[in-house]
Amino acid sequence: MRSVECVIVGGGPAGLAAARTAARHGVRVLLVDENPGLGGQYYRQMPATFRAPDHAKLGTESLEGRRLIDEVQALGVELRLDSVVWGIFDQRIVALATRDETQRIEAQTLILAPGAYDRPVPFPGWTLPGVITAGGAQNLMKGYRILPGRRVLIAGSGPLLLVVAHHLLSGGAHVAAICEAASMRQLWRYAHRLLPHLNFVQQGYRYRREIKDASVPFMTGHVIRRAVGRSEVTGAVVTHCDDQWRPVGGTELHFDVDTVVVGYGFVSSLELSRLAGCEHRYEPGLGGYVPVRNREMESTVPGVFIVGDGAGVAGSAVALEEGHMAGLTVANRLGRLLGRDHSREASRARGRLLHLAGFRRVMDGLYRFGPGLYTLANEQTTLCRCEEVTVAEALEAVRDGAGHVNEVKAWTRVGMGRCQGRMCGPALAHLIAGATGKAVADAGIFTPRPPVKPVALAALAREAS
Amino acid sequence: MGASCAYFLADRGADVLLLESGRVGREASGVNAGGVRQQGRALPEMPMALRSLDLWADLDKRLDARIEYERCGDLRIVETEADGERLRAVAARERDAGLGLEWVEGTALRSLVPALAPSVAGGTFCPTGGHANPLLVAPAFGKRARDLGAMVWEGSAVRSIGHDGAGFTLETANCRVRAARLVLAAGAWTPLLARDLGLRVPIALFVPQMTATVPLARVLGVVLLGWSRKLSMKQMRSGAVLIGGGKRGWGDLVTRARGPAEENMRLAAVDAVEALPVLGAAETARSWVGLEGLTPDEMPIIDCVDGVHVAAGFCGHGFAIGPVVGELLSEWLLDGEPSLHVSPFSLSRFPSP
Amino acid sequence: MTYGELRMTPTSERGRALSILVDGEAVIAYEGESLAAALLASGRRFTRWTAKSGEARGYFCGMGVCQDCLVTVDGLPNVRACMATVKDRLRVETQRGLGDWGVTP
């Protein structure tokens, strides 16, 4: 079996930064990503076949990403694209698969940078074609220069909503409204703490100006109530919500749209870190579990590091810095960066992370996840998209005594479909908590089992030498 | 075993307490392949396997629960002439023991499983074979037992057991229990509990590994059992194909930590694709293992020693006979003896150390 | 939804034009586009009908996680459109249920 000094899983900002730093110090790095190109979600690039890419319209991330990707490639980092890491065995044996074959690699050090995905929030009509996530909208517009629709409602929370609106408007789409779940009061409570972070404030102001000029209503304290349509979206209904983002009865506003973009934050991809045996702890402020790490980004499993949004969603600046920190630690661990050289770099990185932590705390406060979102679904709403299991069926299992997501899964097939519980897990935990009075953390998460992404039997069967 | 025994006892009005360290049906009962077969078992198990058919036929009504039992037939396949001869000899003995099964090859074989690989030469088809959903059955037994008046304590691991003239004393985390009669059906954990009573029960931990695909369109209408290679494949009601058969993962009895072995995931995939080539493009959704009990001769222990009833060591094929073993135990406890001979499964067949 | 309105850049800035077949109909796509992007740009919002209730599904998460945008490509069912790249003369079929493997059980 091949042994590699440093295997990095995930080619987004965190993984790329880790690869750059480690490679700069002479570590031999193998970087694996499921996509055909590097960049992950945040640094998603347009296809190489597209000519004269209009970076100006795309924003600076595209250029930043391009530069980092070029650096990583120039440093001779070995790449495995279109490859999914589907399992981690014996703590650091990495199993990866392409469409046709599987390969086992022993990682002397392993950096997990799996990122996050849009928080799935079930609501009536959420399975209709035309309902897409904010991340999905961004991928279409930034990655392929295609509008998701012509008349769009945006509902969610956080600055990403403004970015999505900006791209939609630049493409000539009609943005019917932006519904921000956080209330104006909540936003103002933290707004002054943003002042030290001038760039962010300026950018935010520019976006707000743009949507104002385009007469797009920006409604705070509002959530999506339902998407309307028979076989695709023809409209959307929004309503007021309270501080917990629970819909409050009364006025419902109906919008004539063909697309609903939902962006209620992100959840970390924890399947690999769990499979590797890393410890996790529940963070109510982030609305989920995060892996336990020390200052050097090392998890509770020696030699396994976790960085970026996969360790708790904190944005790209943090991801880059954490990746860099892990790269330093790996270089040190492998004897390429020692003594004062290492400690000097590490302490600089720590300083920057501390500064960023302040910004993060403000952002987490501003857009603090409201568990009321999980009351949007009614009994008929599909909870498990893959297996088409409704909220009612899941609740029946709870009434029959199921008190943990794994039990509801065993009795109803929720979480047994192709997405392996990613779309329904968070909502199910809240559903169980609401029905039993348990804490959400105690309702649990689905036990991750290999493969963490579906892998064809033929690919599993064929072992690359 | 424990849950079905509790059900049969409660059904007859006995005073029952079922102690389960975790949740009913979450260990071996819930993680096995779900096969309900009569062929391919040690011959002494045949009477139980045949009796179990009657129970499975209306178990869903008895338990008032969904269990997804399908009597679709099972097919044991061989890939060489020599294996075919050996299998036919085994099948003849099984027929003598009362099982209906027939040798199939050529067009009969192909019509049973059109997607079967050309390398499969023939097999024995048993129309009474089938499968059920292991995640649903034991919990259904436990729930029905509760409804009938049994006490079911989950999360109640037994720490120690004592035996005096009058009965048994069990210490759990929460309290002490006194019982007149005791059934040990704790799977791979049975030897640890039996030791307290001075009984040596030769059950070792073994960790069988399973793989499930994502739900697929129908490609398999019977249960496939490998003879030339250890393989079992069945397509569940959901459309997922369950692949099992002989591969092992790793596990720890004390911590209960466990996981599949990567190499064995690969070998299971090789076997599955070689038997049913169309599955090459089918994706696996998950692989898991169970902590099960294995005896030296791969037959279970069903016995009563020093007043203690033991039913354990089903070596990964206890699911099919779970209901009947529960019934036999209840007869043994309430009527003095089980209605089927269980002497082949006595503990005394193993030499004492 | 009229085809052609959803692309945000002129064709001169996209990859080489090619043709894919969607349910028998020729659809234009540009080299480098994901299958999902090309389908959406042509006004096709749904990729499949579910097995249990036959409801329409399409692009949702756009990053290969939700497994909803499944289509049959060149006879192979359950391909995530958002993770597949267009190729000339690719044969795409919207999928009913779990897909057809060409096998009768």
DSSP string, B95-111: HHTT---EEEEHHHHHH
- Quote the tokens at residue B149: 């008046």
Q: How far is CA B74 from the centre of its chain?
A: 16
Which chain C residues are Cβ-neighbours of B273 within 8 angstroms? none
Which chain C residues are Cβ-neighbours of A129 within 8 angstroms? 45-46, 56-59
B283 in reach of chain C (CB within 8 A)? yes
SS3 B76: strand
Distance CA B282, CA A455 (A): 8
Position A88 pLDDT exceeds 60: yes
Position A285 pLDDT exceeds 80: no
B236 in reach of chain A (CB within 8 A)? no
Classify A370 in phi/psi space as left (phi over 0), alpha (psi -120 to 50) or beta. Answer: beta
How would residue A52 be classed by pLDDT, with cut points 50, 70 and 90? Answer: low
Decide if A194 contacts A301 (C-beta within 8 A): no
Distance CA B131, CA B165 (A): 43
If you write DSSP's letter for every residue of C52-67 in order, what string do you get? TT--EEE-SSSSSSS-
Chain B residue nearest residue A403, CA to CA: B23
- Geometric angle at alpha carbon B53, from B42 and B94, rounded to 5°: 35
Which chain B residues are Cβ-neighbours of A102 within 8 angstroms? 266
Pairwise CB contact (< 8 Å): C41 & A46 = no
A104 in reach of chain B (CB within 8 A)? yes
In sequence order, which residues have a C-beta less than 8 Å from that of residue A328 and are 6 or more positions away?
A21, A25, A296, A337, A342, A345, A346, A349
- Among the residue ranges A205-209, A336-340, B180-184, the one predicted with the least confidence is A205-209
Output the pLDDT for position A55.
59
Q: For chain A, list the domains and their CATH numbers.
A: 2-117+267-337 (3.50.50.60), 120-264 (3.50.50.60), 377-443 (1.10.10.1100)
Position C80 pLDDT exceeds 50: yes
Which chain A residues are Cβ-neighbours of B139 within 8 angstroms? 410-411
B213 in reach of chain C (CB within 8 A)? no
Residue (of B344, B331, B350) closest to B44 by Cα position: B344
Residue (of A381, A174, A182, A146) closest to A264 by Cα position: A182
Largest CA distance in chain B: 65
Decide if A242 contacts A415 (C-beta within 8 A): no
Chains touching B by CB (3 or more pairs below 8 Å): A, C
- Minimal Cα–Cα distance from C59 to chain A, Å? 7
SS3 A37: coil
- The torsion angles phi and psi of A39, rounded to 5 degrees, stand at 125, -20
Tell me the pLDDT tens digit for each residue of A413-429: 999 999 999 999 999 99
- Geometric angle at alpha carbon B151, from B148 and B153, rounded to 5°: 140
How do B308-312 and B301-305 pair as beta strands?
Answer: antiparallel
Distance CA A369, CA A162 (A): 18
Tell me the pLDDT tens digit for each residue of A369-419: 899 999 999 999 999 999 999 999 999 999 999 999 999 999 999 999 999
- Minimal Cα–Cα distance from A47 to chain C, Å? 5
How do A174-180 and B158-163 pair as beta strands?
Answer: unpaired
- Among the residue ranges A334-338, A443-447, B162-166, B283-287, the one predicted with the least confidence is B162-166
**DSSP annotation of A139:** I
Q: Which parts of B240-322 are beta strand (E)?
A: 241-244, 250-251, 258-259, 283-289, 292-294, 301-305, 308-312
Chain B residue nearest residue C51, CA to CA: B217
Distance CA A305, CA A278 (A): 10
Position C45 pLDDT exceeds 50: yes
- Minimal Cα–Cα distance from B204 to chain C, Å? 39
B114 in reach of chain C (CB within 8 A)? yes
In sequence order, which residues have a C-beta less than 8 Å from that of residue C29 and are 6 or more positions away?
C17, C18, C19, C20, C38, C41, C42, C86
List the single residue in B214, B219, B221 with the smallest CB-CB distance to C101: B219
A413 in reach of chain B (CB within 8 A)? yes
Output the pLDDT for position C95.
95
* A residues 22-41 closer than 8 Å to B (CB): none
- Quote the tokens at residue A80: 């495995």
Decide if A95 contacts A42 (C-beta within 8 A): no
Which residue positions in chain B have pLDDT lower than 50? none
Between these two residues, B248 and A53, which has the higher pLDDT value?
A: B248
Which chain B residues are Cβ-neighbours of A106 within 8 angstroms? none
Number of A/C CB contacts below 8 angstroms equals 147
Peptide bond into A120 cis (omega under 30): no
How do A29-32 and A2-9 pair as beta strands?
Answer: parallel
- Quote the tokens at residue A183: 């209330």
Tell me the pLDDT tens digit for each residue of A224-241: 999 999 999 999 999 999
Position C63 pLDDT exceeds 80: yes
Pairwise CB contact (< 8 Å): C105 & B221 = yes
Pairwise CB contact (< 8 Å): B136 & A411 = yes
ipTM of the complex: 0.95
Chain C residue nearest residue A119, CA to CA: C61
- Minimal Cα–Cα distance from B273 to chain C, Å? 14
A132 in reach of chain C (CB within 8 A)? yes
Burial class (CB in 10 A: 0-12, 13-18, 19+), B209: buried
When computed from its CA atoms, the radius of gyration of chain A, rounded to whole angstroms, is: 22
Residue (of A394, A387, A396) closest to A421 by Cα position: A387
Position A363 pLDDT exceeds 90: no
CATH code assigned to C15-96: 3.10.20.440
Per the document, the length of chain C is 105
Residue owning tokens 């995060």: A290
List the single residue in B219, B281, B283 with the smallest CB-CB distance to C105: B219
Pairwise CB contact (< 8 Å): B235 & C105 = yes
Residue (of B340, B346, B343, B344) closest to B49 by Cα position: B340
Output the pLDDT for position A57.
62
**DSSP annotation of B241:** E
- Minimal Cα–Cα distance from A454 to chain C, Å? 10
Position C1 pLDDT exceeds 60: no
List the single residue in B115, B214, B239 with the smallest CB-CB distance to C103: B115
B246 in reach of chain C (CB within 8 A)? no
Pairwise CB contact (< 8 Å): B273 & A461 = yes
Decide if B172 contacts B153 (C-beta within 8 A): yes
- Among the residue ranges A191-205, A281-295, B97-111, the one predicted with the least confidence is A191-205
Looking from the CA of A116 toward its CB, the CA atoms found within 13 Å total: 29
Tell me the pLDDT tens digit for each residue of C14-36: 889 999 999 999 999 999 999 99
Residue (of B262, B178, B171, B279) closest to B220 by Cα position: B279
Position A251 pLDDT exceeds 90: no
How would residue C100 be classed by pLDDT, with cut points 50, 70 and 90? Answer: confident
Residue A195 parent element (H or E): none
Pairwise CB contact (< 8 Å): B217 & C98 = yes
Pairwise CB contact (< 8 Å): A417 & B262 = no
Largest CA distance in chain A: 65
List the single residue in B240, B285, B288 with the smallest CB-CB distance to A420: B285
Distance CA A401, CA B44 (A): 38
How would residue C3 be classed by pLDDT, with cut points 50, 70 and 90? Answer: very low
Q: How far is CA A278 from the centre of its chain?
A: 19
Chain A residue nearest residue B135, CA to CA: A410
How would residue A54 be classed by pLDDT, with cut points 50, 70 and 90? Answer: low
Residue (of A315, A325, A326, A321) closest to A359 by Cα position: A315
Looking from the CA of A186 toward its CB, the CA atoms found within 13 Å total: 22
Pairwise CB contact (< 8 Å): A89 & B287 = no
Torsion from C-alpha of A184, A189, A193, A197, nearest 10 degrees: -10
B239 in reach of chain C (CB within 8 A)? yes
